[in-house]
Amino acid sequence: MLFWFLGVVPQSQSFKDDGMGPIPSKWKGRCNDEDDYFVSNSSCNRKLISMRKFDKVRQKKNGYNATSSTAVDLFGHGTHTLSTAGGRFVLGANENGFANGTAKGGLPNARVVSYKVGAFSTYGDDIIDCDVLTAFEEAIHDGVDVISISLGTPATSSYSNNSIAIGSLHAVKKGIVVITAGSNEGPAAATVQNIAPWLLTVGASTIDRQWTSFLELGNKQRIKGVSFSLTKLENKLYPLVSYMDALGENVTTENPFHCNGSISPEKVGGKIFVFVRPSEEKSTTCYNMARKAGAVGVVQVTDNRNNVFEAYDFGMAVSLISITDGQIVFSYINSTKSPVGYITPVMTEVGTKTAPIVGSYSSRGPNSITAEILKPDVIAPGTSILAASTNDTSGTTPPGPTYKFSSGTSMAAPHVAVSLEDLNRPYRGRIMKTSTIDNTNQPIKDHNGKPATPFDMGAGHIMPQNAADPGLVYDLTFEDYLRFLCTQQNINAAHLSKLSKQPFQCPNHYNLLNFNYPQSQIPNLSWVPIRKVNLVKNIGTPGNYSAYIEEPHGIYVTITPDSLLFKEIGEEKNFTLTFTAKKDAEPNHYVFGKLVWSDHTHNVTSPIVVKAA
């Protein structure tokens, strides 16, 4: 049973229960809440077995509102992520005719549960920590197997102040894996959220499907762009005008290529308007300004062509082109007396672009609380994902079902959740953190074309087929997490005893570097060597594993022993990594490498992240 935090539209065909048997007897939950105006027992079935709301504290704080106080998804976010994970087969799913085909989630026969906190899926006055903790408590009691949370939490100075960190630790204690989205504030550094080590934190990658239109210039150059617009121009050349040339009278702007001032209808009407993306919010303003001024099409120059939200129709032909191609267009406009162009109709392409790459929006490390813990853990597909959604996102009326594309780490998290279902149950979360693409021969790229680092992608892109037979795992117990918390501020043994419900003593001396996390992150390596001890457990066939180390630049890394022989399942072995800075180590600069244990059948990969002091 899969559990989600963000509401659902129960009428969606993705949650039909045709052919499904009775609800498992282990389920202890109920369908709905009596005071939910829009939800009744008939809203649930043998597929969607519960949809509840947790907003009592929010109601007391902000006042009761029948429209928002409901388990129904008012904006499509929860429906999209839940159907990505567990949606049934639905024929003819598409958005405006794009990607028409059969939709299904990763586990179409799984039971799904939706517990909604807040009304609008944002923190602040809407989502209250007490409501989040109550939802966790009910989910644990009711009998869910996997919890996925496509919801970010604000950065705090301590895990003890974070409701998702607290609630998820209680779930992990009961053997429930908790998957979380890493947030969408990339590519800025140290923006990743949900960073507790017991969480499986997911970043987002792209897929190889794209919607393409071309900007054909009057000088015969043809520039490839991204578009999601249904508007088709008459097949002829139209005048091109840049924002700089479209300013109204007596209007000045510090950057004339950016759309942050008034534009003249006389200069834009009937033309294709070209501007540089200022920001996601202001891009919409630019589109609206161009449409009101009578533009027939818009070309946006952007470093974020993966954002299909900015490639929508807006009542005009649209094309998003790269910064490099934008320079070509502006050069053509500025050097031509009467520049003209044409935006071609959109076509769907599959397998024509490199994928996966890290989504530009996907939040990055390093970890803002504990520098020794790498986040995100992995990346998964999160860009332009088609799934069930709502046909009304105003938040004022109960929405109906439809299908839409969405992008974000929220869309990536469900891909990881469903990949865990058939894995070795006690080790599911730890397996996924090392079962990733072997990217030695063709490194995964970041959005800017450079090789992605562990701060961008964690251990790499998930590979469910590798996770089914991982070989080795870095085992961590609930007690290990308690010892980890002993190293954190504002947490003591008394707090941890209440959490464990039995007496607990923090170790007198505990080195956080020896926390058995499946990565090695050394945030302050001086000229004195640092040793890190790890333990791996064999959960596969017997095998002899050899170590392969890719050293970070300027860092010596040695391992003892460099081979491990496992004769039986469950056998455990220790090894020690020693890190030493070379003379050419660059201080205060992170460098990256990796450790791979291989028996020529299994490859267990762990990132190495080091910053010399």
pLDDT at 35: 77
pLDDT at 210: 84
Which value, in Å, is the radius of gyration of the alpha carbons in the chain?
A: 26
Answer for the pair 433, 459: CB distance below 8 angstroms, yes or no: yes
CA distances from 218 to 110, 227, 340, 364 (A): 55, 20, 5, 41
- Tell me the per-residue pLDDT of 355-399, one tens digit each, with 9 for 90 and over: 899 998 999 999 999 999 999 999 999 998 999 998 865 555 556
pLDDT at 492: 82
- In this prediction, what percent of the chain has a pLDDT beyond 70? 87
Average pLDDT on 505-510 reads 87
Whether the predicted pLDDT of 64 surpasses 70: no
pLDDT at 123: 43
pLDDT at 527: 87
> In the structure encoding, which two tokens stand for residue 519, read together?
């990565």
User: Which is more confidently placed, 436 or 263?
Assistant: 263
Average pLDDT on 230-234 reads 92
- Report the relative pairing of strands 543-550 and 590-598 from DSSP bridges: antiparallel
CA distances from 146 to 38, 139, 210, 525 (A): 26, 10, 31, 37
CA distances from 13 to 98, 276, 386, 461, 528 (A): 19, 40, 14, 30, 61
> In the structure encoding, which two tokens stand for residue 588, read together?
């205060």
pLDDT at 282: 61
pLDDT at 485: 93
Concatenate the DSSP letters of all residues of 73-132 into one string.
-SSSHHHHHHHHHHPPPEEEEEETTEEEEEE--SSTTS-EEEEEESSSS-BTTTB-HHHH
The pLDDT mean for the chain works out to 87
- Tell me the per-residue pLDDT of 451-467, one tens digit each, with 9 for 90 and over: 999 999 999 998 887 77
- Tell me the per-residue pLDDT of 88-144, one tens digit each, with 9 for 90 and over: 999 999 988 888 999 999 999 999 999 998 765 444 456 788 999 999 999 999 999
Q: How many CB atoms lie within 10 A of CB 15?
A: 28
Average pLDDT on 233-237 reads 96
pLDDT at 588: 93
For residues 148 and 151, give the distance between their C-alpha atoms in angstroms, rounded to a whole number: 9
For residues 483 and 382, give the distance between their C-alpha atoms in angstroms, rounded to a whole number: 34
Average pLDDT on 329-353 reads 93
- Tell me the per-residue pLDDT of 148-203, one tens digit each, with 9 for 90 and over: 998 877 666 789 889 999 999 999 999 899 999 999 999 999 999 999 999 999 99
Average pLDDT on 221-240 reads 94
- Tell me the per-residue pLDDT of 197-220, one tens digit each, with 9 for 90 and over: 999 999 999 998 888 999 999 999
Q: Is 59 exposed, middle or buried (0-12, 13-18, 19+ CB in 10 A)?
A: middle
Whether the predicted pLDDT of 34 surpasses 60: yes
- In this prediction, what percent of the chain has a pLDDT beyond 90? 57
List the domains of the chain with CATH numbers. 2-177+382-445 (3.40.50.200), 209-349 (3.50.30.30), 478-509 (no CATH), 516-612 (2.60.40.2310)
pLDDT at 122: 46
Whether the predicted pLDDT of 549 surpasses 50: yes
Whether the predicted pLDDT of 6 surpasses 80: no
CA terminus-to-terminus distance, the chain: 47
Average pLDDT on 243-248 reads 82
Residue 376, preceding bond cis, omega within 30 degrees? yes
Whether the predicted pLDDT of 255 surpasses 70: no
CA distances from 287 to 253, 262, 275 (A): 18, 12, 10
pLDDT at 209: 87
pLDDT at 457: 95
Task: Say which residue the tokens 């890719």 belong to.
Answer: 550
Q: Phi, psi (5° rounding) for residue 483?
A: -65, -40
- Tell me the per-residue pLDDT of 266-276, one tens digit each, with 9 for 90 and over: 999 999 999 88
Whether the predicted pLDDT of 8 surpasses 80: yes
> In the structure encoding, which two tokens stand for residue 306, read together?
């993966």
Whether the predicted pLDDT of 510 surpasses 90: no
- Tell me the per-residue pLDDT of 306-316, one tens digit each, with 9 for 90 and over: 555 556 778 89
Report the residue count for the chain. Answer: 613
Answer for the pair 345, 232: CB distance below 8 angstroms, yes or no: yes
| Residue 51 CA neighbour count, 13 Å, CB half | 28
Under the banding of pLDDT at 50, 70 and 90, the label for residue 325 is very high
For residues 375 and 148, give the distance between their C-alpha atoms in angstroms, rounded to a whole number: 17
pLDDT at 308: 54
- The mean-pLDDT minimum among 464-473, 478-487, 553-562 falls in 464-473
pLDDT at 23: 95
Under the banding of pLDDT at 50, 70 and 90, the label for residue 280 is low
- Tell me the per-residue pLDDT of 418-442, one tens digit each, with 9 for 90 and over: 887 665 556 655 565 665 554 445 6
For residues 574 and 564, give the distance between their C-alpha atoms in angstroms, rounded to a whole number: 9
pLDDT at 233: 96
pLDDT at 261: 64
